[in-house]
Chains A and B, each alone.
Chain A
Amino acid sequence: MVMHRFANPARFLRFAAVALPWFSAAAVLCMAAGLAFGLFVSPADYQQGETVRIMYVHVPSAWMAMFAYTVVAGGSISALVWKHPLGEIVARAAAPIGTGFTLVCLVTGALWGKPMWGAWWVWDARLTSVLVLFFLYLGYMALLGAFDDPVRGGRAASILAIVGLVNVPIIKWSVDWWNTLHQPASVARMDGPAIHSSMLVPLLLMAAGFACYFAAVLLLRVRAEVAARRIRTLRLAAMEAES
């Protein structure tokens, strides 16, 4: 597997040093272009009018919320099964970013729901499963720090993250399995996107920007965590040398 080569922290740090500026620049460029396109160039929707522009933030953050959770669960799997040193660090680092995306998704969804549906919130399958995702993130982060022994906390949190993985397909297909107030998928569908190209372009630009932002912040956080662990190890070694 390719990922195994990056499981080595030293190699990962070299990769991060090269990739970080590129991801950061791509995130800024894509988001700026996506916002300019979405707010000024793209047309209003035939039935939703101007409120459709909420989509350019709401949908990418929903995608990234699910993707970041998959990264948390994937990192947890590699930490539990192969004991990769980076697996848990990546999972820990991705969780707060994913929580942020989920929160943005829920808030913009409420702001969009009120004018279009007539309700800030309804308990349909899609909205409820995304709320469950938010609580899974919070539970994961709470468990990480819930034990005096960080190794035990990390293991318990990893198990929760893996168990919560069943929620991701439920979010994705909730709108197809049950009738919901939320409409079915517009972009990822068998017969091609049901969304006009003038609106699809800013949406995909924003999605690329959000993805690059996620990658950049993830690399930063992983780098910081690796450094923090190194400092901890050095301190312990120094203390042992003194005594």
Chain B
Amino acid sequence: MTRKRRRLLVLVVALGLLGSATALMLAAFQDSLVFFYSPSDLQAKGAPGDRSFRLGGLVEASSVTRSADGRTIAFRVTDGAHAVPVTFRGILPDLFREGQGVVTEGRMRPDGTFEARDVLAKHDETYMPREVADALKKAGRWKEGEGLRPTAVPGPAAAGGGRS
């Protein structure tokens, strides 16, 4: 019985140490484990030089413009607090539209515009039929890109972070 006890104790202690080590490591690498930076992160920390990085947020309403030849598209990515102008030349994912979450990859130009090489669409965790979405929108209980709200009170935009 004591040997079983001892094995269990060793296992529990080892798992505890392993868990704390993992937690410390993940906390230390917090900044490199995020998939994208929000416009507020850029504002706070500045762009990482000439390096390529990902910028994520919502496509700002009525900010999408297309160039004359229709191949270059310009829009602003916002997280509610700050917005960054983005240009992109290429094929957009089907889900791309104003108010939709996007993650763009590219680099910052000196003039403060983000030049994207790649645009990915990010959708939220809400799933519902179109009729339900329309009814909720009509009742003012829900706005696309903000998740479902239990009441009609509009909360602060939950963009930028993981819950956009």
Chain A residues close to B by CB (< 8 Å): 43-48, 52, 55, 77, 80-83, 115-119, 122-125, 162-163, 165-166, 170, 175-181, 183-186, 189, 191, 194-196, 198-199
Contacts and interface: CB of A to CB of B under 8 A. Distances in A.
Contacts of B84: none
B33 A125 contact: yes
18 contacts: A43-B129, A44-B129, A44-B130, A45-B129, A47-B95, A47-B144, A81-B8, A116-B93, A176-B162, A178-B33, A178-B34, A179-B162, A180-B35, A180-B162, A181-B120, A186-B125, A194-B125, A194-B126
B124 to A, nearest CB: 6
B112 interface: no
A163 B163 CA distance: 30
B145 to A, nearest CB: 10
B127 A55 contact: yes
The B contact surface, by secondary structure, is: mixed
Contacts of A195: 125-128
B89 interface: no
Given A46-B133, A118-B121, A179-B34, A199 B128 contact: yes
B114 to A, nearest CB: 17
Interface in B86-131: 92-95, 103, 118-131
A199 B35 contact: no
B137 to A, nearest CB: 9
Given A166-B19, A194-B147, A196-B127, 13 more contacts: A48-B123, A81-B7, A81-B11, A116-B94, A117-B93, A123-B35, A125-B35, A166-B18, A175-B162, A180-B162, A183-B125, A194-B126, A195-B127
B42 interface: no
Which of the listed residues B33, B127, B129, B150 has the most CB atoms from chain A within 10 Å of its own CB?
B127
A43 B128 CA distance: 8
A198 to B, nearest CB: 6
Contacts of B38: 179
B43 interface: no
**4 shortest A-B CB distances, which residue pairs?**
A118-B93, A46-B133, A43-B129, A196-B128
Contacts of B124: 183, 194
B119 to A, nearest CB: 7
A178 B18 contact: no
Contacts of A124: 35
B125 A116 contact: no
Interface in B116-164: 118-134, 144, 147-148, 150, 160-164
Contacts of A170: 22, 26
A194 B122 CA distance: 16
A44 B128 CA distance: 8
B95 A116 contact: yes
Contact of B56 (A45, A179, A186): A179
Nearest to A128: B33
Contact of B148 (A117, A125, A163, A194): A194
